[in-house]
Amino acid sequence: MLKKLSAFFFIGIFSFLLTACSAYLAPFDASKPVGEQVNYTITGIDAGAGLMMAAENAIEVYGLAEEYWQIQPSSTAAMTITLARAIEDKRPIIVTGWVPHWMFTNFDLKFLDDPENVFGEAESIHTIVRKGLAEDKPSAYQFLNNFYWTPDDMSEVMLDVNNGVEPEKAAREWIENNPDIVAQWTDGIEQANGEEIVLTLVAWDSEIASTNVVAEVLRDLGYEPTIRAMEIQPMWKSIATSAADAMVAAWLPNTSAVFYEDFQDDVIDLGPNLRGAQVGLVVPTFMENINSIEDLRR
């Protein structure tokens, strides 16, 4: 008797798991609550990213935490691979996303409306340099102060890198294809004599593009650039402690707000190098009835 019962028990559990998993792997079904279709999970990026903190705040503010929604930390690369696979199978997915990013060029995506404005309005990406740079490396300082480009410019480099071109080579090609823009940044700046210059970044696709373009222009100005990738807090600290010279990765006023507050007295903010960036929760456009973060609470 006991044997029969345990067999039934395991068959029951196995079929429940199979149903749960298959629901989780099934194509999007607009007639069903989206939460159960994505296992109440938002696919995130590196845990320290400002966007992840904003996403954690969003699940509180929109009451999703009560339904046990969670933000799955991973990396930009893992998030974009998971996104590509879900889109291929028309499966539902919610990711932490941002523009500029090649994901919006390659996939049909949309930001979820954010009526509580948790993710803020359009953002700028600022150039942050260490104190004393203007005195020690005046040519680098002048160029970094002039460095400014558009989301389209950045996306061109990002797309090349995403298609397999080495970041340094993609940056070099962009520089060769845009001599007028580069001339606006560097005209009249004196050549340097091979001094090293250290740039730090977090390995987000957007910053891999911008930092490599900056490094190649500094190389053309006679510097020996070194690029060091790290997490967001060490990146800010590297400039505040003068361990590095500059970074072009400060998403403000929201995404990097906490880091700016911590380090603003120990760094120099040269202002935006790009305007019109945006961060938020992003879904494929085939999720037609999901248009606001509020729609997650079906």
Which residues lie near ligand PBE (CB under 6 A)?
A: 45, 49-51, 98, 204, 206, 232, 251, 255-256, 279
> Which of 146/211 has CB closer to ligand PBE?
211
CB of 86 to ligand PBE, least distance (A): 19
Output the smallest distance, CB 277 to ligand PBE, in A.
Answer: 8
Q: Between 48 and 222, whose beta carbon lies closer to ligand PBE?
A: 48
Query: Taking the CB of residue 257, how many other CB atoms lie within 10 A of it?
Result: 16
Q: Residue 246 Cβ, how far from ligand PBE at the closest point, in Å?
A: 16
- Choose between 211 and 256: whose C-beta lies nearer to ligand PBE: 256
Q: Nearest approach, Cβ of 12 to ligand PBE (angstroms)? A: 43
Q: How far is the CB of 281 from ligand PBE (least distance, A)?
A: 12
Closest contact distance (angstroms) between CB of 150 and ligand PBE is 16
As measured in angstroms, the least distance from the Cβ of 54 to ligand PBE is 7
Between 38 and 274, name the residue whose CB sits nearer to ligand PBE: 274
Question: Residue 7 corresponds to which tokens in the numbers above?
Answer: 């067999």
Nearer to ligand PBE, 35 or 50 (CB): 50
Of 250 and 268, the one with the shorter C-beta distance to ligand PBE is 250
User: 49 vs 296, which CB is nearer to ligand PBE?
Assistant: 49
Q: Transcribe the chain into DSSP letters.
A: -HHHHHHHHHHHHHHHHHHHHHHHHSPP-TTS-HHHHTTTEEE---TTSHHHHHHHHHHHHTT-GGGT-EEE---HHHHHHHHHHHHHTT----EEEEES-THHHHS-EEEPB-TT-SS-S-EEEEEEEETTHHHH-HHHHHHHHH----HHHHHHHHHHHHTT--HHHHHHHHHHH-HHHHHHHHTTPPP--S-EEEEEE---HHHHHHHHHHHHHHHHTT-EEEEEE--HHHHHHHHHTTSSSEEEEEEETTTTHHHHHHHGGGEEEEEEEEEEEEEEEEEETT-TT--BGGGG--
Q: Which residue of the chain is nearest ligand PBE when measured via CB?
A: 51
